[in-house]
Chains A and B, each alone.
Chain A
Amino acid sequence: MKPIAPLLIALALLLSAGCAPTPVKVPDYVAPPEGPASAKIQVRSPALAGNGFLHVFDDGALCTGPHQLASSATATKAFNASSRLKAGEPSTLLFHYRNVAKKHCRVAMTFVPEAGRNYLATAFANEATSCGFILFDITDPTELKPVKRRALRTLIPAKDQGAYCRKADLEAEFAKAARPNRSNMKMSDLADILPPEPAK
């Protein structure tokens, strides 16, 4: 065998590795103590045809300092976990799904947990690497109430110590999330035809 062949194989392996996201070791999540400044969260998923991970960030607004709250131990297993979140400050949950072909899908959501409430995040994914999770307030166990004040976050490529989400004006994000499918126009977009101020 000529020496060029192993070099080509090595180059091919290097290129393949370059295409896959670099695995980042994420430390386990340490929940705040139970008490008036925390809310409960449960995470559930059906059996996933791949691996699922749910991360929480030290800084929910900037998405820095990821910690692993739940994961499927092996591919095709469901995952379930119960924990607590700090109440009264933005908490960002990131669901990361890797299918059996090692394709990745990530989605993140920010909300402000209320003290004493009980939340449920149900994750889902499919083979086409679409994935997501729905967040419910289940404080009243007889009713699944979607959490009102939440915003989907724009993700950026993960870095070891860097931010996972675009820095956000969370009030604006929440306001946008509260008006799904609405026009994203501003009054300034109509500046040339805007009617005068209504008489008081």
Chain B
Amino acid sequence: MKKPDLSACLFFALCCGVATSASALETEQLFRKIEPSVWLVRSADKGGVPLAAGSAVVIAARRLVTNCHVLKQAASVLVIKGKNSFAARLDQVDLERDLCLLAVDDEKFSAPAVRYNAGTLPVIGQHIVTIGNPAALEMSLTDGLISRLQYDDDKQLDAIQFSAPISLGSSGGGLFDTDGYLLGITQRQAVGIGVQNLNFALPVAWLDELKARSDQQLAEHYSTRRTAAQGNAAKQ
């Protein structure tokens, strides 16, 4: 039997070692680059009792996007990173897409906005990372692939399926490509018997539509409320 060529094995092992280190370093750099833009969100009720924890991504100066379901029943909202905590208010809301924009009025909030390109579609097989606060464990990094792109009946991108693990508390976090560009907002995971690692993010292109859709939905909400109030007044 021919002996294995140890020099070849050693060469291979060294190459792999170098390659692994380089890859890890790149991911470390990537994390350092985008981590300042991802924050923990905590909501509380009127009595200050904590309700939920989630994540939010800075997409413009003192503006962070998160999932609306993180804010359900909230009376107050904080965005937190380490020992820094800022009060946030709801600025825009797109309930249909579960996207809400938080505003921080305190000018001391100087977290950098992420970069994103609304016109760029993710590609199946593309390597991605997520940063969020699963189970309120601040700034957890996971990685994986774009598994699938989900389109609606009108052939518009509806959700990005990916394989990087997320958990409760990851909602509102960022899905990034390896250059640090935001691709989506991590929103949900499929759960159930036999279901494993099916995670979904909302397309980043929706951020550009948030203002218009928020205005529309708020206008409809206030209009409905006014009509109901007028109806009640007429009855009395």
Contacts and interface: CB of A to CB of B under 8 A. Distances in A.
A joins B in a complex: yes
Interface string B170-214: 000000000000000000100000000000100000000000001
Contact of B219 (A182, A185, A198): A198
Contact of A194 (B77, B93, B97, B200): B93
Given A193-B71, A193-B74, A181 B95 contact: no
A193 B96 contact: no
Interface residues of B, number: 32
Nearest to B100: A190
A185 B76 contact: no
Contacts of B75: 192-193
B217 A181 contact: no
Contacts of A192: 46, 73-75
B61 interface: no
A162 interface: no
Contacts of B91: 195
A169 interface: no
A182 B203 CA distance: 13
B221 A187 contact: yes
B92 A190 contact: no
B219 A187 contact: no
Contacts, number: 63
Given A193-B89, A193-B90, A185 B218 contact: no
Contacts of B89: 193, 195
Nearest to B171: A183
Interface in B22-75: 46, 67-69, 71-75
A136 B69 CA distance: 32
Interface string A165-196: 00000000000000101110111011011110
A192 B73 CA distance: 8
A179 B94 CA distance: 13
Given A148-B153, A182-B97, A190 B71 contact: yes
B215 interface: yes
Interface in A134-161: 146, 148
Contact of A183 (B95, B217, B219): B95
A90 B67 CA distance: 34
B210 to A, nearest CB: 12
B72 A189 contact: yes
A197 B95 contact: no
A146 B152 CA distance: 10
A194 B95 contact: no
B74 to A, nearest CB: 6
Interface centre among A179, A183, A189, A200 (most CB of B within 10 A): A183
Nearest to B75: A192
A186 B153 contact: no
A200 B89 CA distance: 21
A197 B222 contact: yes
A181 B152 CA distance: 12
Interface in B124-168: 153, 159
B98 interface: yes
Contacts of A148: 153
A182 B98 contact: yes
Given A193-B76, A194-B218, A198-B219, A185 B90 contact: no
Interface of A: 146, 148, 179, 181-183, 185-187, 189-190, 192-195, 197-198, 200
4 smallest CB-CB distances across A and B, nearest first, come from: A183-B98, A197-B222, A192-B75, A198-B215
Given A193-B74, A195-B90, 17 more contacts: A146-B153, A179-B96, A182-B96, A182-B97, A183-B69, A185-B72, A185-B98, A190-B71, A190-B90, A193-B76, A193-B89, A194-B90, A194-B93, A195-B218, A197-B222, A198-B215, A198-B219
10 contacts: A182-B97, A185-B69, A187-B93, A187-B95, A187-B221, A190-B100, A193-B76, A195-B92, A198-B219, A200-B219
